[in-house]
Amino acid sequence: MLKLTSELLQQTLDIAYLAGEHLTHFYQQTASSAVQISQKSDNTPVTEVDLFLSQFLIEKLTALTPSIPVLSEENCNIPLAEREQWHQYWLIDPLDGTQQFINRTGYFSVLITLMQNNQAVLGIIHAPVLQTTYYAMQHYGAYKKVAQNVQRLLPRTLDLSRPIKVALGASRAKKKARQTFNDNYQYEFVICGSSGIKSGLVADGSCDCYLRLGKTSEWDTAPAEIILQEMGGAVFDDVYQPLIYNQKNDFGNPNFLMVSNKNSNWQKLFRFNINSLT
């Protein structure tokens, strides 16, 4: 098993920063010319940028750790029979928030996670336009870097005397989200694109949690698993169990809740009833 060292973390961060430079270059170029967009089989957009960055990250991570396979959102047609033999692998989303990139909001990121025994042990969320990076490694801590300023992310106590700040991906998700709320408490929405960036908002205290009632994939949540774990948070599915990785034929996640404090009584605050979430 690959040894987790500060050198490995820095080398992986350097790869993420290089990918971010490419992404920023593409972003600046598309200010005057449209990026080429296609639709994937699940009706989500994919651009030439996604494909270029996927290949770039696969090459760089393979050069860094030649014996460790790389699983990318844009290169994931690998059967479970092969993947389940992996004791460790890189899991990447080269452009998390493709629609945000297309819409030119700046809210998109590069996601890189090292998985060992199907658990995240190193994770990076790098949002180049925002000049913001969240990263963590097992037993090393979780950090946020803005420009050249680095701060350690620390556990926080949930303050129920104020509204609970809930990160959502779109305003249209508000109605469904409200169906999970406990009427005895107040809630406030924070709307933001990119799963990675919403995860970061939970990690840095901008939000108390990130609620997702809809389609996501394992590469969307993997880096947040270790970032939140290292600062006292957690990721739960809709029955308050951990998400699973690399154990299904597909990569889809269930509905989930990312939280800033794993010890708070989230089951009291969010009451999932899948049959009613319509």
- Report the distance separating Cα 56 and Cα 261, nearest Å: 35
Which of 108, 130, 152 is at the close of a domain? 152
- Of 152, 185, 209, the residue that ends a domain is 152
Number of domains in the chain: 2
Q: Is residue 202 domain-shared with residue 169, that is, in the same domain?
A: yes
Answer yes or no: is 183 a known binding residue.
no
Q: Do residues 60 and 141 share a domain?
A: yes
Calculated CA dihedral for residues 209, 249, 59, 51, nearest 10 degrees: -70
User: What is residue 28's predicted lDDT score, i.e. its pLDDT?
Assistant: 85
Same domain, 200 and 233: yes
Model confidence pLDDT, tens digit, residues 72-97 = 988 888 999 999 999 999 999 999 98
The reply, when asked if residue 220 is annotated as ligand binding, is yes
196 labelled ligand-binding = no
Q: Please indicate if the annotation marks 221 as binding a ligand.
A: no
Average of per-residue pLDDT across 222-246: 97
Find the domain containing 138 and state its range.
6-152
Q: Among the three residues 126, 152, 178, which one is the final residue of a domain in this structure?
A: 152
How far apart CA 178 and CA 267 sit, in angstroms, is: 15
10 Å Cβ neighbour count for 149? 8
Question: Is 193 marked within a binding site?
Answer: no
Paired strand residues for 46: 38
* Cα distances (angstroms) measured from residue 26 to each of 53, 102, 129, 153, 243: 10, 11, 11, 31, 33
Residue 118 and residue 11 in one domain: yes
pLDDT the model gives residue 48: 83
Report the SS3 class of residue 249.
coil
Q: Are 91 and 78 in contact (CB under 8 A)?
A: no
Same domain assignment for residues 36 and 138? yes
Q: Please tell me whether 96 is known to bind a ligand.
A: yes
Residue 275 forms part of a structural domain: no
* pLDDT for the residue numbered 102: 84
pLDDT band of 44, cuts 50, 70, 90:
low
pLDDT at residue 49, rounded to an integer: 86
Please determine, for residue 32, whether its predicted confidence score (pLDDT) is greater than 50: no
Mean pLDDT, the chain, whole residue set: 92
Distance CA(266)–CA(1), nearest Å, equals 35
Supply the pLDDT for residue 38.
Answer: 62
CA distances from 50 to 72, 75, 98, 99, 163 (A): 10, 11, 8, 11, 37
Is 74 marked within a binding site? no
Cα 72 to Cα 57: distance, rounded to the nearest angstrom: 9
Report the CATH number that the domain containing residue 199 is assigned in CATH.
3.40.190.80
Would you say the C-alpha torsion 35, 40, 44, 46 has a positive or negative sign?
negative
